[in-house]
Amino acid sequence: MALGNEVRHSTHSHEYFCNTTVNSTVPAVRGSRRRPLFRQRRLLLVAAFSSVTLAAADHRPLLPLPQQISYGPGQLVLTGVEIGFGPAPADEDRFAATELAAALFAASGSQVAVRDGKPGGRAIIFQRTGELAPLPLKDEAPSPEGRESYRIAISPAGVQIAAPSSAGLFYAVQTLKQMIEGHGPTAALPEARVHDWPAFAYRGFMMDLSHGSIMKEAEVRRQIDFLARWKANQYYFYSEASIELKGYPLVNRRGRYSQDEVRRIIEYARQRHIDVVPCLEYYGHLHDFFRLERYSSMAVLPHGVDLNPKHPQADAVLKDWIGQMAALFPSLWFHVGLDEPFELEAAGAAAAGGVDPAELFRQHLEKVTGLALSHGKRVLFWADINSGARIFNKYPQLIGRLPTDLVPVAWCYDDRPDYTSWLEPFERAHKPPAVATGISAWNDIFPNYSVAFSNIDGFTAAGRKHGAIGVINTGWTDDAQGIYRTALPGLAYGAIASWQNLPVDRPAFFRNYSRQMYGDDAASEIAPALADLTKARDLLAEGVGGSTMYRFWDDALEPAQLVRTAAHRTQLSQARLSAEDAMEHIDKATQMLPGDYTLPSMMLKAEMIDYLGMKHLYADDIAEFFRRAGLKPTSKQIWLYIEWETSYEDHSHVSDLMDSITSLKVDYERAWKEEWTGYRLASALGRWDAEYEYWRSFQERIQAFARHFKDGDSLPPLESFRQRQ
């Protein structure tokens, strides 16, 4: 293909456009025949690229950024375009083509026919050059011509897409969807050439479906759709006891998925080239079993958390559990957990007959790994190093004694300047690890993206340096109160960071993400809303002391907290101002996108931040009112400061708090019911009721005092009104 002054964005030293024509071939996938990537006669553009250099900035931002991309001066107008195939398509190929057709129709308003053959005229042609290979293999390495690679050539005459697998075609479609410019009759694809492949072969997201509530099957599917658009290829289904186990009918019976539900999720994800990997627990985190009396004796401590590996029933139960899950999940990958066995040293060795804790852990890991390997699985486990129970810090000798064919998953969710110590010990032992990053969406009202993005960037970069095989971005639900749709930018960021070689453009991320997620017009409101919410969360955490979801329920009138609030009024005020700015942006975006499923949750979180800031500022105001009234106030002072400002039924500080918390509860319950099943909802809502009741009873005590006050009486300290009688 003749080219002029094309713009190349390549993260590798070699260039894609090194000759005037491209006739490279793709190596076979699992024995497939080699085929020319493009027939040369279909590669040649009728018109050469102009001599004008076109910057990528002139086009829509692409996430992830392709490894190599060049733009030309022309475009392919979408009206009248059809989609066809080179070789006869399989169902997976048609699925990708149909998804592209839907996106083209949404942009242009023109129906796009999908035909099994090669249409005449302007067409988008799919050409799969190898086997289907829809899901990650056991021992896969990314490469420019690997299973997930793809090439795109766009000219005014049509588009050629080529990939060695159905997965590669699907990823090409995700890129093409992002490249669409304009709307209606002017909708078009820019003239361009793309050659792309992932930096990591395994790019997963782990959803915690045990610590909090149980996410609805429809919401899990929505997450899978979302991850697929950013080219993730694994969904780790984290379960402690939230999947039905045959023969254990009482285990978590109110909070679990049926095996049929899991099968449907697996099939849904497979169509989108996402492998659903079981991420289970076979040592610690098993309280849902041991809280039942019939299994309680199997725990190290009574009704505890950790399994006693030496219990007489342990081997049979483990064999049954692992066998059932291995049969349920067709994935070649199998995560056995084993993180945070905190009872290992506290009582584990004694319960296990005095076995040395390190040896007990090694024996158990070897046993569990062997059971999973017997089902043909590639086994992963949480490697607690510098994190959790710090098993490999306490017993470094274990690293050299890990079973074969086992992948340690080093995990850290903090922002650290250097992650070498998490990975280097496994690299030295020739045990290539996986890297587990975190989206920091737990324990906070709004995700801590300041930490999450730094963690993902830094730990992923360290993974590349130290030979990690892949990335598992994690979403936990430890506070059991989260609304997870506001965590979607974190899911996208992790998938993007693990595909592209260049670091994610963090300063531009909210803008670029919002343009692709919501469209250019709405992005002008949503991107600043996300930035404002991040700023508000950070300021709020500084003001209340971190973990803002837990702090949401704290007693703002507690004396030590009042001291903290007085010292952080500026941060709390600025947090409210940023949250209110976000609300304004979200309100405008909602008018543009009235049916969007993410914006109501975003508004809820902004209002929750505003409430928590208000609660502490109001508490400080109330303390000041008591100081102004003094020990021997007049009736007028009591009326002004204690009744009118503090506790009056209309428009007082306490009434504002009561009105806000009850309104927020309604919105919170609605958001919960959209994402989660009813499991644990009543427990979560009980906190909202308690918050309202706190202020209601405080108001009642204040008013009872004021009704009986007469000049000459003393004003009791604020502390006495705070305490429940």
Domain positions in the chain: 40-196, 202-504, 526-722
Q: In 40-90, which ranges are continuous DSSP H helix? A: 40-43
| pLDDT 10s digits, 661-672 | 999 999 999 999
* Beta carbons of 278 and 325 less than 8 angstroms apart: yes
- Tell me the CA end-to-end span of the chain in Å, nearest whole number: 84
pLDDT over 90 (residue 353): no
pLDDT band of residue 212 (cuts 50, 70, 90) is confident
Q: Hunting for tokens 């699925």 — which residue is that?
A: 95
pLDDT over 90 (residue 487): yes
Check the CA dihedral 96-218-471-431 and report its sign.
Answer: negative
Check the CA dihedral 611-616-617-623 and report its sign.
Answer: positive
pLDDT over 60 (residue 9): no
The pLDDT value given to residue 38: 31
Higher pLDDT, 49 or 227: 227
The pLDDT value given to residue 18: 28
pLDDT band of residue 23 (cuts 50, 70, 90) is very low
**What string of H, E and C letters represents the secondary structure of 700-719?**
HHHHHHHHHCCCCCCCCCHH
CA angle (359 as vertex; 354, 362 as ends), nearest 5: 140
When the candidates are 3.20.20.70, 2.10.10.90, 3.20.20.80, 3.40.50.700, the CATH number that belongs to 202-504 is 3.20.20.80
User: What is the share, in percent, of the chain residues with pLDDT greater than 90?
Assistant: 88
CA 435 vs CA 366, 372, 466, 469: distances in Å: 21, 21, 10, 8
CATH code, 40-196: 3.30.379.10
pLDDT band of residue 322 (cuts 50, 70, 90) is very high
Domains 40-196 and 202-504 alike in fold: no
User: Residue 436 and residue 34: Cα distance in Å, rounded?
Assistant: 36
The 123-128 sheet, strands edge to edge: 68-77, 188-196, 150-155, 158-163, 123-128, 82-85
CA 407 vs CA 83, 138, 377, 466, 586: distances in Å: 42, 11, 11, 14, 43
The pLDDT value given to residue 381: 98
User: If you average pLDDT over residues 221-240, what whole number do you get?
Assistant: 98
Output the six-digit token pair for 244.
């039905």
Output the six-digit token pair for 444.
């906070």
What is the DSSP track for 669-698?
HHHHHHHB-STTHHHHHHHHHHHHHHHHHH
Closest CA to 79 of 185, 171, 183, 168: 185
Note the pTM of the prediction, 2 decimals: 0.92
Q: Hunting for tokens 């996106």 — which residue is that?
A: 103
Architecture of domain 526-722: Up-down Bundle (1.20)
User: If you average pLDDT over residues 634-657, what whole number do you get?
Assistant: 97
| pLDDT 10s digits, 82-96 | 999 998 999 999 999
Question: What is the average pLDDT value for the chain, to the nearest integer?
Answer: 92
Higher pLDDT, 137 or 32: 137
The pLDDT value given to residue 55: 62
Q: In the chain, count H helices and then E strands.
A: 24, 14
pLDDT band of residue 347 (cuts 50, 70, 90) is confident
pLDDT band of residue 476 (cuts 50, 70, 90) is very high
Q: Hunting for tokens 């609660």 — which residue is that?
A: 615
